[in-house]
Amino acid sequence: MHIAIIGAGPVGLWTAIQIKKRSPDAQVTLFERYEEYKRHHVVSIQRSSLFFGASPHHDEHDQRLFHEMLGYTRNQLRSRPMNRLFVPTSAIESSLKKCALALGCAIVVRHIASLDDICDLYPDVEQIVIANGAHSTLRKQLLGEDDVHSESLQYVVEMKTYVSEEVADSMETGMVARRIASRLKTMTFEYRGRPKAGRVGITLRFFVDKEGFDALGEASFKQPHIGINGLPEELAQDVRVYWTMHGLDEGMLETLSFSKLQLSVYHATRFADSYRGKPCFLVGDAAMGVPYFRALNSGWVMGSRLAHLIGMGAGSEKTVRRYNAYGKVHQSAEFALAKQKNGLLNRYADLRKLYRRLKVGGKQQREMVL
Ligand SMILES: Cc1cc2nc3c(=O)[nH]c(=O)nc-3n(C[C@H](O)[C@H](O)[C@H](O)COP(=O)(O)OP(=O)(O)OC[C@H]3O[C@@H](n4cnc5c(N)ncnc54)[C@H](O)[C@@H]3O)c2cc1C
């Protein structure tokens, strides 16, 4: 059996490993458009997603993979009390790649523009796994125009800037920094990066309402809005407050970059279908997306499950049906979790508003009495 996996990202690679472990005789070929990976962000991994539904066969490949990728052996991980690990995607991808190659998977550097490329150029491929990320055009080819359902959960304006290490050291931290954030009208979370080449990245995420979000116009990650001029008034005010309370150089206000992002949940309208008689399965971001540090974790669990179903060798129609049924259950569970977390965030935002109203109201009353 020859299985093609399109996209050798973290989920494509994980799925390849799981398939090889469940079906050692299968020929697995991954197609990846880039020789070198472009992603460098750090992801939070939940221990359970490494084990849930994964192949129960442990061998030296597992031990090496876990140790290289996470710094712990599989057994150490199982017995550790912590559930979350923070790992750079580059470390994840290089360890997974090594493991996939050691298990006998092939990785071909090639951009697959259409499912026909696989059907025509690799006629011996019997099953296709689509793992080429959130913006998969292959998903559209498989499922048609109405390929995805999505729902926005939060509207976020992200501000990014860099300050020198010296300036970063002089900025307030801990409780004081939290108190500064609490002074802002908009619910805001601040992230400071690690020093790199003498600079520290600062990211502020402002959770705005839809009106404020739309008011900013086009501002994407690739083409951000520069400077605080033209920002919705409340947001501009918050940025100024943050800036002055941290004692930062006001001249920088006009160089800050702002981009918009929506935290949303989405899922493919089907998780598997046939294309030219070949069963095709969607995994990872190509299949669905959830926020709050779950997307990759969810992708791995799906990949493990798909490998299990393929390993059962029940015939393509049955496997497609079973994977679709499983996908629906998995998606409902992940969406419920995401919405629960989102609800907590909204409660926090409401409490914050109430607190501000009481505090400001109290202050005004005191001033009137005086
Ligand atoms: C800033 C940030 C922070 C995140 N933090 C977390 C977190 O803490 N926890 C978490 O669980 N998730 C997190 N995520 C999400 C996580 O990174 C993704 O869920 C994960 O990368 C999805 O993996 P994937 O393999 O499905 O898709 P991708 O990572 O998008 O990989 C797809 C691969 O397919 C290749 N490809 C695309 N098209 C083609 C084609 N036509 N032919 C050949 N190859 C192709 C691409 O080059 C790529 O290598 C975060 C994401 C971001 C951006």
Are 15 and 127 members of one domain? yes
Letter string b/e over residues 130-159, b meaning 16 or more CB atoms within 10 A of that residue's CB: bbbbeebebbebbbeeebbeeeebbbbbbb
Are 93 and 178 members of one domain? no
Domain residue limits at 281: 2-147+269-341
Residue 365 in any domain: the answer is no
Mutation to probe ligand 1, out of 285, 297, 300, 302 (largest number of atoms < 8 A from CB): 285
Q: For ligand 1, atom 16, which residue shows the shortest CA distance?
A: 296
Segment 181-218, tens digit of pLDDT: 878 888 998 888 888 888 888 899 999 999 889 988 88
Are 236 and 285 members of one domain? no
Taking the CA of residue 138 as reference, the ligand 1 atom at the shortest distance is 41
Of 243, 263, 283, the position where a domain reaches its end is 263
Phi and psi, residue 310, nearest 5°: -65, -40
Segment 103-143, tens digit of pLDDT: 999 999 999 999 999 999 999 999 999 999 999 999 999 99
Are 10 and 131 members of one domain? yes
Are 46 and 140 members of one domain? yes
Q: For ligand 1, atom 37, which residue shows the shortest CA distance?
A: 132
Give the residue with greater pLDDT, 270 vs 74: 270
Residue 351 in any domain: the answer is no
Global ipTM: 0.97
Of 263, 279, 300, the position where a domain reaches its end is 263
Q: Which helix (H) or strand (E) holds 155?
A: strand 148-164
Are 273 and 135 members of one domain? yes
| Mean pLDDT within 343-349 | 92
Of 263, 283, 305, the position where a domain reaches its end is 263
- 99: tokens are 């493991």
Residue with tokens 């393929």: 310
Whole-angstrom distance, CA of residue 181 vs CA of residue 188: 6
The pLDDT value given to residue 287: 97
CB 208, CB 187: distance < 8 Å = no
Asked whether residue 246 carries a pLDDT value surpassing 60, the answer given is: yes
> How many angstroms does the Cα of residue 9 sit away from the middle of ligand 1?
6
* β-pair type (125-130, 225-226): unpaired
The SS3 of residue 326 is: helix
- 82: tokens are 């912590």
Write the CATH number for 8. 3.50.50.60
Bridge partners of 226, per DSSP, are 257
Residue 273 in any domain: the answer is yes
Taking the CA of residue 286 as reference, the ligand 1 atom at the shortest distance is 26
- DSSP H helical segments within the chain, as ranges? 10-22, 47-51, 60-70, 74-79, 89-102, 115-121, 137-143, 165-170, 174-183, 210-215, 233-245, 295-312, 316-369
Query: Who lines ligand 1 at CB under 6 A?
Result: 6-12, 31-34, 41, 43-44, 111-112, 131-133, 284-285, 293-297, 299
* Per-residue confidence band for 52, with pLDDT thresholds at 50, 70 and 90: confident
Q: How many domains does the chain have?
A: 2
Are 290 and 334 members of one domain? yes
Residue 362 in any domain: the answer is no
Residue 364 in any domain: the answer is no
Taking the CA of residue 131 as reference, the ligand 1 atom at the shortest distance is 26
Are 134 and 163 members of one domain? no
